[in-house]
Amino acid sequence: MFAISLKQNQYPTYILSDDSALSSVEVVPDRGGIITRWKIQGQELLYLDEERFKDPKLSVRGGNPILFPICGNLPDNIYDYQGKQYILKQHGFARDLPWQVSKEAADDCASLTLVLSSNDQTRAVYPLDFQLVFTYQLQGNQLKILQRFSNLSSVRMPFSVGFHPYFWVKDKTGLTFDIPGSEYQDQQTKTHYPFSGEFDLTQDEIDVAFKSITRNSASYTDHKRRLQITLTYSDLYSTLVFWTVKGKEYICIEPWSAPRNALNSGEQLNYIEPGKTLEAWVQMTYRSL
C-alpha cells in the first residue's frame, strides 16, 4: 500500500511510503525540494549532516540536493550572459529556495510533485523566466525523479541540471564500482586519468568528472552492507561526477547534464527555446545482495 504523510519537524516533511516493500522517502520542499532520507527494509541509504541541515544559512550536505541552473562552480562565481556579468554560486540556487507542493498521489506509487518558478531573487542572478516541475515517485525498491523544465522567457534559455546524492557508506573498503567511463578529469587540477573501475579511497578527497560516459547507468556495490545502488538516467545527463572525502561516511555519484563552468564554456550546455519544455528523469534502484 502506498501512502503520503506529513510531519512537522523544523521544516514540513513529506513521507512517501510503500508498506509492502518496507520503503520510504522523506522530502523537504522548503529546503530546496530535497530528499533527506531514503530507507528500504531497515537500510538507511542516504547520508545527512543534520547540523548543516538545521542551519538555513548553510547549504545542505547530504540527502539528494537539486543542482540548477548550473552544476559545480564558476571561476570567481561569475558568468557572462548577453554582454553582462552575473554572479551565481556553486550548484546554483534551486537547492536553497523553497519549492511549492502542487500534487500528491498514492495510487500505483507514492508520488509528490514540486514546483519552482523564477522570481525577483532568481532573476537577479539568472535573468530568465522558467518553471521547474519535479515529481518524486517511490515504488518498491525504486525512487524515480521526473523533471520538466519550461522556458517562459522570450529568448533561448541556457542551463544545466544535476543531482548530488550522498550515499551512506560506513566502510569504504567494501565498495566496488561500475561507472561507464574509461577516463575522468580531476576537477581541481583539470588533469585527465584513465579509469579501470577503482578509486584510491585512501586519498583525502576525490573529485572527478566522467565527461564521456558510454551508457545511461552507473552503480556501486557495498559488500559490507550487502547492497547495490544503481542510477539510471535519461539522455539529458551527459556527465557523472564522483566525490568523496576521507573520514566522511558518504560517496556521491552525481548525474549532471553538463560539466562545471558550462555557462561560460558552452561545453555540453543545454538550451530550451522560448515557450518550450524539456523533460528528463533520473532513477535510483536498491538491490539487496
| Model pLDDT, residue 148 | 98
**Dihedral angle of Cα 151, 238, 74, 199, to the nearest 10 degrees:** 150
Annotated domain spans of the chain: 2-288
Q: Is the dihedral of CA 97, 244, 286, 257 positive or negative?
A: positive
Q: Report cis status (omega within 30 of 0) of the bond before 255.
A: no
Q: In the predicted model, what is the mean pLDDT of residues 128-136?
A: 98
Give the CATH architecture of domain 2-288: Distorted Sandwich (2.70)
Q: In the predicted model, what is the mean pLDDT of residues 126-138?
A: 98
Residue 112 has pLDDT above 90, yes or no: yes
Q: In the predicted model, what is the mean pLDDT of residues 8-27?
A: 96
| Model pLDDT, residue 69 | 98
| Model pLDDT, residue 215 | 96
| Model pLDDT, residue 9 | 87
Cell numbers 535519461 correspond to 234
pLDDT tens digit sequence for 153-170: 999 999 999 999 999 999
pLDDT tens digit sequence for 24-78: 999 999 999 999 999 999 999 999 999 999 898 888 999 999 999 999 999 999 9
